[in-house]
Structure 1
């Protein structure tokens, strides 16, 4: 059972809250519709239940709030609007990425694609999927963890009647197996036809909480739908004859050439139109809404229905169309966020394109620089001319890092499944590790490619390996990893890819000169003897050879760019911890 108690959203400025002290239940084994006109607060209600919106109140999922559930993906499946995935990612890649987030086997993605009828479209890009296929993929995403509760925001919006029938058939089968289904809609007829219980809200407050039979009896009533090019004439004639016969007839003009006539019948309306010479294009009985009629959804038209009960006729649940249950609980493994991050980064062609561009630019710079003979060997191998603040490798690593969090906020794949991965600390560590490996690999490939290109163009003796190659390698690796982390943390703090790239460029151009100016004056103190002093404080003695490595690292960090990068990373990490870890990490 799902219990929402006292849900109240935080109001903006002097406005009333979108949801105000809303309390209702959704029972297990049934389908519950949250009904309301556009702007009634339905989506905000779901976001409050998922703790994605600031406010008060609490929601219990089978007696536990969301932050107390060990594996939320096994308890709650969510579909909020369209699938929030990168347009270039395939349907199969999107589900496999979410499988890693939920801690379920990757084979689950193929099972769900077959269940929702997308087995033949697994390689289709998300940006090319029509709305019906997008909804199917979204439902597959919600069912990945074999959840007990499904929360769906307007799942049938924009769908054809056939697609809607398939969707609600699947939801009915899920409820028949003991699950809880809550979906939002603005169509009273759809709620009466597909739900067991209807919770009606208006301006964020509860209006009614009824079973489908009571809702249809009190909210819906028969009407006659008329389409005619002479709506004004026919409406006047119907009203005049009703007054003359002392009958209660209500005529409502709707969009286009449509009239809705309450309190009459098709024969009576047809005879009136015939007597007054009014041309009629359509005349049909249907079920209408007794309350305010919400505007039709874009691309949808009301379907004529025969007069009769508006209550959904129960159908035998088709349990075969549901995915097989997951037997094992997901394991709390630190590799879950790492697998998620790897599939997120490699699921689109952006990272290989960045790496290819960095290699091409580095080669294009290294070969001409070697011809002039005025660039040092490290600059040649890095493809780093003196007029550039950073080498292409560092910029590429920073761009990869910026996209790591930039894509997370632009295409929030984890927003609908809050907590399936450690949302903050675990995810941050995974992104730092994957970005560091990507930066190191990119730095290694650039050096090898430049070295081989110079040997090929100018001969075997064109480039010699420096004697201090080990220290240079450490500095080169630190620069690539540091720039990648700077882009990642900046994008995480400002929630924007461009901010991450801007910070990477600002480190050598703005922060570096400031650091050099601050520490460039005469020094009255020296760090000579630091290893010996550290040895005196340490509990464990280390070999004398380590002193040389320690001093080399200190001198490396003391370089202007390295010092600026270290200070920037420290500031960005503190800012991320303050902004991103304000609430404790959820699973």
Structure 2
């Protein structure tokens, strides 16, 4: 069960809160719709439940707050808008990355692709997915961990009727298995047709919490929609016949050649039109909304003129409808029950859905309608996807997932898959190799550059070698992509700020930096051997110290880029942090250290060995001395200070979130 208690968003700029003291519950085994017009606070309410929005209140998922749930992916599945993720990542790579974050096997990604009908699009990139496939991928991401509760924001918006029916059938199957489903919608007919319970919001406050049947009875009103070039004559005929038969019928002109008739049916209106020789282009049962229309009336048709007639029946809404209260004839309607199927309009194609009850009588149809399930697209409707790309499959029961066991390798596997799933990583590595080889060959040509600088491809004019810049750029992308394409924050609060993910990113960034450092030196050495011969590249006698210096520089730049992007939430800030080390911090330190040290640390490895009673080789002594020399260099000191400041800033600003990894 989901229980939202006292949800209140933080007001901004002396404005009232978007959500004000919202309290309701969504029961397991049911589909609950959070209904309200645009701006009612539906999305903000979902974000408050997920701790993504500042505010007050608490939400319990089966009796536990989200930050106390050990495995959030097993408890809550979320779909807020489009699928979050890097547009260059493939569908399968996205799901496998989220599998690592949720602690489920990677094979779960293939199972979910088959379950949502995207098995044939596993290698397609997210940025190229049409709306239908993007929505199916979002459902696969939400269901990846086998959650008990689903939170979805407008899941059926802009979908065709066939896709909407498939989606709500999948949600219904999840609820039938004992899960809790909560989704938002602005269409009252959608809520009445697909939900078991409807929670209505208006200006951020709860105004009703009803069963779907009660909501439909109080909010929706059956009507007959007519489109004819003789709208005025037909309205007069219907009003005259209703007075003669002493029936309560109300006829409202919706503008142009559209009429809405309340208190009658398709058969009666069709017979009246036939007797008087009036041509009908459309005749269909619909359900009108008695509340505020989701789409402004002025955007659809001119203000309707009410045609006088007898007073309506005592039940239902008032007889006289103003222009703003008149039902909308151009939004999805129902055909066979008060909140059933819709019938397409030849002028403005509308989707056609199958009715929920097969026993309902078939309404009379006079006009020629679009084929069922295949509405003709217009300029505002979403593109219809070819059935070959997204097969029309019934939602099968989702494969069961075993409860994951918490492991410190989850964030490491996630980070590795995130790093290798985008093309930017290999492109940066290849670019660094190419630039390093070219610079190294050019530096060796003049013969005045020392061998270590030649192998590192570090000319005197450049603040950093290409390998260090490339490592810093990859490190900056590590957190920069998390905030630009937040694949994790939507479902699990402030996960990218957690300590486990930070340590995983630091470890992976160090591994990538070390790999890049070795790769650049090997590539430059082989290029020099090929161009100038082997005698130009002897092994220096102080190679341990040089190696420690080189590894420390590249890995430190990778960490500086990572922490800079993590603190300022942008990859550009990470690159700026890397460049600030040699440009802003190293020159002042070089002047401070120019006088030379007063004392020497010679013999420190031997004293450490005696203190810890550890026997190590002479090579270990050389490595320790090399590391000390790295720390003693101006760039090393500046890099160490930068990393310390960024790490402290990250801890102070980032580790206050309560959501767990």
TM-score (norm 2): 0.81
Question: Is the contact made by 2:514 and 2:555 (CA closer than 8 Å) also made in structure 1?
Answer: yes
Shift of 1:75: 1.0
Shift of 1:378: 0.8
Shift of 1:56: 0.7
Judged with a 3 Å threshold, the aligned counterparts in structure 2 of structure 1 residues 310 and 549 are, in CA distance, closer, same or farther, namely: closer
CA distance in 1 between counterparts of 2:333 and 2:83 reads: 31
Structure 2 counterparts to residues 198-237 of structure 1, below 5 A: 198-227=198-227
Equivalent position SS for 1:159: coil
CA distance in 1 between counterparts of 2:100 and 2:167 reads: 26
Shift of 1:504: 1.1
Partner of 1:146: 146
CA distance in 2 between counterparts of 1:19 and 1:375 reads: 66
Structure 2 counterparts to residues 245-264 of structure 1, below 5 A: 249=250, 251=252, 253=254, 258-263=258-263
Judged with a 3 Å threshold, the aligned counterparts in structure 2 of structure 1 residues 417 and 234 are, in CA distance, closer, same or farther, namely: farther
Partner of 1:353: 427
Q: Deviations over 1:248-289 (max 9, x none)?
A: 7363637x8655444455577679989999975323221111
Structure 2 counterparts to residues 118-517 of structure 1, below 5 A: 118-227=118-227, 249=250, 251=252, 253=254, 258-263=258-263, 265-266=265-266, 281-295=281-295, 302-306=331-335, 308-310=337-339, 313=356, 321-326=396-401, 328-418=402-492, 423-517=497-591
The alignment's C-alpha RMSD in Å is 3.3
Asked if 1:526 corresponds to 2:555, the answer is no
CA distance in 2 between counterparts of 1:345 and 1:50 reads: 26
Judged with a 3 Å threshold, the aligned counterparts in structure 2 of structure 1 residues 279 and 39 are, in CA distance, closer, same or farther, namely: farther
Moved more, 533-542 or 138-147: 533-542
Question: Is the contact made by 1:92 and 1:123 (CA closer than 8 Å) also made in structure 2?
Answer: yes
Gaps of 5+ in 2: 301-328, 341-354, 359-392
Partner of 2:648: 574
Q: Deviations over 1:127-161 (max 9, x none)?
A: 11111111111111111111111111111111100
Higher percent of residues as helix: 1
**Number of residue pairs matched by the alignment:** 580
Judged with a 3 Å threshold, the aligned counterparts in structure 2 of structure 1 residues 378 and 504 are, in CA distance, closer, same or farther, namely: same
Partner of 2:349: none
Q: Deviations over 1:434-459 (max 9, x none)?
A: 11101110111110011011111111
Q: Deviations over 1:468-517 (max 9, x none)?
A: 11111111111110111111111111111111112211211112113223
Shift of 1:554: 2.8
CA distance in 2 between counterparts of 1:506 and 1:426 reads: 27
Question: Is the contact made by 1:242 and 1:248 (CA closer than 8 Å) also made in structure 2?
Answer: no
Shift of 1:295: 1.8
Judged with a 3 Å threshold, the aligned counterparts in structure 2 of structure 1 residues 554 and 330 are, in CA distance, closer, same or farther, namely: same
Question: Is the contact made by 1:189 and 1:310 (CA closer than 8 Å) also made in structure 2?
Answer: yes
CA distance in 1 between counterparts of 2:625 and 2:211 reads: 76
Partner of 2:64: 64
Moved more, 20-29 or 544-553: 544-553
Moved more, 98-107 or 245-254: 245-254
Moved more, 266-275 or 135-144: 266-275
CA distance in 1 between counterparts of 2:56 and 2:134 reads: 33
